[in-house]
Amino acid sequence: MIKKLDWYIIRTFFGPFLFIFSVLMFIFVVQFAFNQMDKFLGKGLNLWDISKLLYYLGLDVIRLVLPLTILLSSIMTFGGFGERYELAAMKSAGISLARIMYPLFSLVVLLAVWLFYFCNTTLPENQRRARNMLINIAQTRPALNFEEGRFIKEMNPLSIKIGKKSGENGSEWDQVFIHKNASSFEDQQTIIADKGNIISKDNHYLKIELYNGYIYQDNIKGKNLNELKKQPGNSIKFDTLTQYYDISDLIKKSLDKQSEGDNFRYKSVSELSTYIDSIKTSNTIYFKELGTNSLNILLGETNQLDSLDYSQYNEVYPFEWSNLDDNAKYNLVKAAINQVNVSKNDLGSKNTEMKAVEKFIAKMILWQQKNIISYAITSVVFFLIGAPLGSIIRKGGVGLPVVVAIIIFIIFYILGLYMENLAKNQVINAYWASWIPNAIFLPVGIFLTIKSMRDSELFDVDNYLKPFKRFISKFIKPKNLEHSRYQ
């Protein structure tokens, strides 16, 4: 049964929690929107499509925001209790700190369970929807970002520059410059027009009409120096010029970019476990076949040694170096060098391939363990740090608690990134790398909780200097100042 005190503690916690969560979500989403803005500009998207895409992609920041919110809110809540002497009143009434923390601890556990469910089910589905939206954008709109005063080089071998654009979706251009990127031995072409207009565009072609301009063209391909000297410069004036540009390869590259790589981000924990096991099984079979092929290559090289004629030697060991003539020695050394070079090159290429496969598996394990499971446990760990730390600091508000919480979170985040890089480079196991930050911070939270329950003056420097002072006092006798006054 929840008592009035429990309701009071929960209500006090929810005020800072909702405020901090809203502020952090706004900050993270705005930063995320600026980082992802290049995916939206120049694609003809309306405000609703951009908002929906940002919503799908921005939900990913909840994994970071919720643990940080719990850490900061718990410090502010218990710091406020200490600052208003409510914590002292509760303890004087015989209520232990563990009992005071119990309702919030239960609430944080429920939030951690919800975060795991969210990261395991809701988040992958939203990420998949965002990916499908990006693919549809690439299919229905050319992946071109025509900006004023900038050369557009995606339409290789052409470079396009426009001075100013206007009209619906920026389809009307002024001061158009189109140059063919060609070597000095190929035909040259440059088009300059006062105005241009995008007539139509689909998944294959971009149709542009140019008005009032010139075509400068030099046909120099396959001509010698004398022919080039005789050839005059060609310039053609036009009133209207219609150009068709093939953009099918550009669309295909954009689709491949949206579809490749991190498809494991759209899977749940169970789906990832099955996927990782299947990848490991297929890799085991694949690398076993590579090992068999390497052995066959090695045996093929040794056949060159076996083919040497040693019948003229009657020694028991035909490979005795001193028994071979110069020709046999030369053939033997040559075959050995070839064998070493082939084996070395083969092992080098396979080593690079194996490292890439292991890095991909480590990325999947890190995503499964860290981003789906570990962050839920981090919420509980941060509460065990924040609640006792707030009762020790005894400061509420957004001053000192914010500074302390940010320092703790930065240390935790940097440690997580460091462990992640070690796992991707196969220095440590990916499972260990996912859980080491929590394994380090959990004892810190238990230590702070014990110290707070015993009302230890954790930040009192004199308490830490007392053992050293006692040790020094054994060797240095204090002066009798009372007696020295009368001497």
Instruction: Give per-residue pLDDT as tens, 220-233.
Output: 666 666 666 666 66
pLDDT computed for residue 43 by the predictor: 56
**Residue 37 token pair:** 């803005």
Separation of alpha carbons 147 and 162, rounded Å: 7
Q: Which of 88-92, 113-117, 300-304 has the lowest mean pLDDT?
A: 300-304
Read off the pLDDT band of 139 (50, 70, 90).
low
Which string of b and e fits 364-398 if b means at least 16 CB within 10 Å? bbbbbbbbbbbbbbbbbbbbbbbbbbbbbbbbbee
DSSP character at residue 170: G
Q: Which of 72, 105, 114 is nearest to 410 (CA)?
A: 72
Read off the pLDDT band of 181 (50, 70, 90).
confident
Q: Which of 87-96, 161-170, 277-286 has the lowest mean pLDDT?
A: 161-170
- For the segment 125-130, the average pLDDT, to the nearest whole number, is 79
Q: Is the pLDDT of residue 95 over 60?
A: yes
pLDDT computed for residue 336 by the predictor: 72
Q: Which residue blocks in 166-262 are alpha helix, DSSP H? A: 225-230, 248-259
Query: In a 10 Å sphere around its CB, with 0-12 CB exposed, 13-18 middle and 19+ buried, how is residue 109 labelled?
Result: middle
Give the CA dihedral 124, 125, 131, 135, nearest 10 degrees.
150
- Segment holding 482, helix H or strand E: helix 481-484
Sign of CA dihedral 206, 212, 213, 214: positive
- By percentage, how much of the chain surpasses pLDDT 70? 69
Separation of alpha carbons 378 and 119, rounded Å: 14
Separation of alpha carbons 407 and 405, rounded Å: 5
β-strand pairing of 172-180 with 158-166 = antiparallel
pLDDT computed for residue 201 by the predictor: 62
pLDDT computed for residue 261 by the predictor: 46
Query: Is residue 205 a contact partner of residue 244, using CB atoms and an 8 Å limit?
Result: yes
**Residue 382 token pair:** 């941060």
pLDDT computed for residue 313 by the predictor: 45
pLDDT computed for residue 454 by the predictor: 75
- By percentage, how much of the chain surpasses pLDDT 90? 7
- For the segment 163-169, the average pLDDT, to the nearest whole number, is 74
Q: Which of 118-132, 145-159, 385-399, 425-439 has the lowest mean pLDDT?
A: 145-159
Q: How many CB atoms lie within 10 A of CB 65?
A: 19
Query: Is residue 98 a contact partner of residue 446, using CB atoms and an 8 Å limit?
Result: no
Q: How many CB atoms lie within 10 A of CB 307?
A: 9
Rg (CA), the chain: 36
- Range of 23-32, 140-149, 155-164 with top mean pLDDT: 23-32
In three-state secondary structure terms, 291 is helix
Q: What is the pLDDT of residues 419-460, one digit of tens each?
A: 888 888 888 888 898 899 999 999 988 888 888 877 666 555
Q: Is the pLDDT of residue 260 over 50?
A: no
- 169 sits in the region (left: phi over 0; alpha: psi -120 to 50; else beta) called left
Residue 453 backbone dihedrals phi, psi, to 5 degrees = -65, -30
**Residue 339 token pair:** 């064998």
Q: Is the pLDDT of residue 477 over 70?
A: no
In three-state secondary structure terms, 62 is helix
- For the segment 132-143, the average pLDDT, to the nearest whole number, is 60
- For the segment 107-128, the average pLDDT, to the nearest whole number, is 88
pLDDT computed for residue 165 by the predictor: 78
- 222 sits in the region (left: phi over 0; alpha: psi -120 to 50; else beta) called left
- For the segment 115-136, the average pLDDT, to the nearest whole number, is 80
Q: Is the pLDDT of residue 254 over 70?
A: no
**Residue 477 token pair:** 């006798």
